[in-house]
Structure 1
C-alpha cells in the first residue's frame, strides 16, 4: 500500500500539467531526428473541425532510393502519451518511418491533440480545462479525419496505407466503425499492439487505478479535463541524466517502462533511453486514461461512460454505445505479442473474432516470448521480428 501511495503522490501533481510557459518542444524533435540522418523533413499544420491545430510531419522521400515512380502514401499514428518521434527515434535501420521511406513510400506522421506538436486551438489555450475536454474518441472522430483528408488532398492521392501503434489502433477502430467513408480511403491498415478490448490488461497498478479512476464517480468528475504528463525541459534533463549509459539509474529507467509495458531486457536498446525520455511522455488529456481504464473494467469496446444520468443525455441510453467494429470493411493486418501488458493475446483474439472474416487479412504473432508493447517501436530485433512481416503484408496488397 505504501508503494501505491508513493506512486499516487508522485503522479497527481503531473496530472494537472504544466503551464504553457514550462511546456515546450524538446531539443530532440521529430525534425532533428529525421534531418540528422539526411532525410528531408516537412512540417504541416491541420485544423480540426472543432478547432484543434495539429502538427503533421512528413518524410516525402528517401535519399537512399532513386525512383521516378509515384510514391504511395503511408500515414503513421502514434500511441498514448507519444508523438511522431516514436517512428524515427531508433534511426534509419529500425524506425518504421525510415523503413517505409526507403521502401518508396511518401511518409506522413500524425500528432494527436494535446501532445508536444499539437498544443494549439483556434479559441482555447492549454491553460484552460476546456482545451483538455477530450479523450481518444475525439482523436478518432476529429483528428484522424482532418489529418488524413489533408494528406490525400495535398498529395492528390485517392488512398493511403495506415499504420497505428497502441492508441493509434484504438482511434483507427473508432473512426472506421463510425465514419464509413474512410473505408474506401484506406487501402490497408496495419495495427501494431492493437488496443480495443482491454479486460485482460496486466500491470502492478492496473487494478488499483481501474478501481479509482475507471468508473463514473467523483474522481473523474473532479480531475477530468486536465493535462497528463506533458513534455517539459525538466523531464528531458532528468531523463538524460538518469537514463544515459553512464548513469547508475539506467536500469531503473528501463524498469519503469517495463512495469507498464512488459519486461523485455533482451530487446531494449539502452543507449536509446535518453532520447525516449526526452520525447516521451509527450502529453495527453487525463480523460484518455480514464477511458482506457473503463474498457478494462467493462470488458467492452465502447464510448465514454459518464454515468447513468449523463449517458442518457449524451447517448439516449443509460450505458454508452459499443463501437460497431464489425462494420469496418477494409483490409486489416494485426501484429501482437505474448508479453504485452496493454494488448494481451486474449484481448487481441477477441478483436480478431469481432472483425469481419473478409476484413482481417492476417494476425501476426511476433515470434519472441518477451516482445512487449513498446518493442513494436524500438525493439532491438525489430527488422527480422516485425518489419519483415509488415513488408510481406504490404507486398501482398500491391495487386489489390
Structure 2
C-alpha cells in the first residue's frame, strides 16, 4: 500500500515531464484545437457590470451590489427588483431568489437567450426579487480587500471556501436587504455548494426553498470525455505543478495541455468541446452558443479543479484532500479530509431537482445516488424532474427550457410560498 501511495504521489510529476513539450509560450495551430482558438476570446470586457451589459438593455431596472466575504473576496451581486411591465412605485413585498451559476462560467450564462427565455427575467416578470451572484475569480468578482488576481494567494481556494464564506455572505446580505427567507436556484457547481452547505447546517434557517438544476454531488460516473481523461491522468495536479494557480482557458499553457489531450485521445470531439464536456445538448441554437462564448468560459482556481478531480477519483464527497496526513491534520485536525454527509440535510427544506438523461457531468447514476440519500426527505418537500433529452447546458441555455423546466420551477416556488 505504501508503494502504491508513493506511485500515485509521483504520477502527476511524471505526467508533467511527459507533457513539457506541449507547454510552449506560443500555441501553434492544430486541427484538434479549434475550440481553444475559436472560442476562448473572453477579454473581460464587461467590467462595467452585468446590469449595463445584459439587463438594462432589455428594459429591466437593475442594481449593482458588492458583498465582502469573511476572507476578503468582494463578490459582484446584481438585483432585478421588478419585472419589465411593472408600474413604477407599485411594488408588493416580493420573495427573494438567489441564482448561482456553475464552474467556469459567470452570471452572464443566465442571459444567453431572448429575454422571455432567460430564467432571471422570467422570475422578475412573475413577481420575484431576483439576485444574481458571481463566484470569486469570475469577471464581476475579481476583487479582494488586499489581494490582486495576479497574486497566487488570490486563487488559494476550492468550493470548500464557497461553502464556508461565499454563500453565507450572500445569504446574510440578501436577508438583511429583504428581511425574508430566500429561495435559491443553483446550476451544477451551484447545486454542490448548496447541498454541502445544507449538510453542514449552514443557511438552513435562511433558505425558503432550493431548486437544483443538473445537480452535482457525486461524479464517479461522469462520462464527459475530456474530464474523465484529465482526472484519470491527474491533469489537474499537473497544471497545479506547472504553477498555474488560476485556471484560465485562454492561457497558452492550458491551451497546449488541452490540445495534447485532443491529439492523443481521438475519442474527444475537440471541434465541439461544449458538448464533449457537458453531453449532447439537445436544444441550443447557434445564436445562443455565440452569445455564450462572448463571455465564457471564465476562470476558476486550479485548486478547485483538483478538488473536483479528487471527488471523481475517490468516489466520496469530502473537503479538499491535502494528500499528506500532516497537512490534512494541520487544516482539519485529522489525518484525512472530513466527509460531507448529505444525509444530514434537514428533511423539511423544500427541494426541486431537475436532471437530464444526456448529461455527461451530472450523470443519471450519480444523481440517483443523491436521490437515494434523500429518500427520507419529507415527501411533500421533495420534487424531482427527469428530462430524458437534456444535457448539462440545456438547463440554462435551452430555447425550450421556459416550457420544459422553468414553469415547473415557478410552480414549485408557488407551492412552497
TM-score exceeds 0.5: yes
Q: Which runs of 4+ in 1 moved over 6 A?
A: 4-8, 10-13
Q: Distance in 2 between matches of 1:253 and 1:206?
A: 13
SS in 1 for 2:146: coil
Q: Distance in 1 between matches of 2:285 and 2:344?
A: 39
* Residues 238-278 of structure 1, C-alpha deviations (whole Å, 9 max, x = no match): xxxxxxxxxxxxxx9982210000113x4112112222111
* Residues 266-323 of structure 1, C-alpha deviations (whole Å, 9 max, x = no match): 4112112222111111211111111111111111111111113222322233321111
Quote the offset at 1:63 in angstroms. Answer: 2.2
Q: Which residue of 2 aligns with 1:89?
A: 112
Q: Distance in 1 between matches of 2:100 and 2:122?
A: 15
Q: Which residue of 1 aligns with 2:160?
A: 137
Quote the offset at 1:28 in angstroms. Answer: 9.5
Following superposition of structure 1 onto structure 2, how do residues 177-216 of structure 1 map, counting pairs within 5 Å? 177-178=199-200, 180-213=201-234
Q: Which moved more, 1:336-345 or 1:86-95?
A: 86-95
SS in 1 for 2:164: helix
Q: Distance in 2 between matches of 1:94 and 1:11?
A: 42
SS in 2 for 1:341: coil
In structure 2, relative to structure 1, the CA distance for the partners of 1:326 and 1:143 (3 Å cut) is same
Q: Which residue of 1 aligns with 2:258?
A: none
Q: Distance in 2 between matches of 1:12 and 1:295?
A: 33
Quote the offset at 1:36 in angstroms. Answer: 1.6
* Residues 315-341 of structure 1, C-alpha deviations (whole Å, 9 max, x = no match): 233321111222222221111010000
In structure 2, relative to structure 1, the CA distance for the partners of 1:163 and 1:114 (3 Å cut) is same
Whether the aligned pair in 1 keeps the contact of 2:47 and 2:140 (CA below 8 Å) is: no
Q: Distance in 1 between matches of 2:105 and 2:322?
A: 26
In structure 2, relative to structure 1, the CA distance for the partners of 1:267 and 1:12 (3 Å cut) is farther
Whether the aligned pair in 1 keeps the contact of 2:355 and 2:386 (CA below 8 Å) is: yes
Quote the offset at 1:221 in angstroms. Answer: 5.3
Q: 1:298 aligns with which of 290, 303, 314?
A: 314
Q: Which moved more, 1:219-228 or 1:166-175?
A: 219-228
* Residues 83-103 of structure 1, C-alpha deviations (whole Å, 9 max, x = no match): 111222213211110110011
RMSD: 2.8
* Residues 339-363 of structure 1, C-alpha deviations (whole Å, 9 max, x = no match): 0000011111111122342285111
Q: Distance in 1 between matches of 2:312 and 2:100?
A: 23
- Report the TM-score when normalising by structure 2: 0.80
Match status 1:149 vs 2:172 = yes
In structure 2, relative to structure 1, the CA distance for the partners of 1:207 and 1:126 (3 Å cut) is same
Quote the offset at 1:69 in angstroms. Answer: 2.1
* Residues 68-127 of structure 1, C-alpha deviations (whole Å, 9 max, x = no match): 421110110010011111222213211110110011001000111111110011111011
SS in 1 for 2:233: helix
Q: Distance in 1 between matches of 2:250 and 2:226?
A: 23
In structure 2, relative to structure 1, the CA distance for the partners of 1:28 and 1:44 (3 Å cut) is closer
SS in 1 for 2:221: coil
Whether the aligned pair in 2 keeps the contact of 1:54 and 1:113 (CA below 8 Å) is: yes
Indicate the structure whose relative CO is greater, using CA pairs within 8 Å and at least 6 residues apart. 2
Q: Distance in 2 between matches of 1:12 and 1:335?
A: 42
Q: Distance in 1 between matches of 2:363 and 2:142?
A: 32
Quote the offset at 1:30 in angstroms. Answer: 2.6
State the structure with more CA Rg: 2
Q: Distance in 2 between matches of 1:136 and 1:319?
A: 18
Whether the aligned pair in 2 keeps the contact of 1:338 and 1:372 (CA below 8 Å) is: yes
- Report the TM-score when normalising by structure 1: 0.83
Q: Which residue of 2 aligns with 1:98?
A: 121
Whether the aligned pair in 2 keeps the contact of 1:199 and 1:296 (CA below 8 Å) is: yes
Q: 1:166 aligns with which of 183, 188, 196?
A: 188
Following superposition of structure 1 onto structure 2, how do residues 218-367 of structure 1 map, counting pairs within 5 Å? 219=238, 222-223=241-242, 226-229=245-248, 255-264=272-281, 266-309=282-325, 310-329=327-346, 330-355=349-374, 356-358=376-378, 361-366=382-387
Where in structure 2 are there 5+ consecutive unaligned residues? 1-17, 28-41, 252-268
Q: Distance in 2 between matches of 1:197 and 1:295?
A: 7
Q: Distance in 1 between matches of 2:24 and 2:359?
A: 25
Whether the aligned pair in 1 keeps the contact of 2:186 and 2:194 (CA below 8 Å) is: yes
In structure 2, relative to structure 1, the CA distance for the partners of 1:23 and 1:279 (3 Å cut) is closer
Where in structure 1 are there 5+ consecutive unaligned residues? 14-21, 233-251
Whether the aligned pair in 2 keeps the contact of 1:228 and 1:284 (CA below 8 Å) is: yes
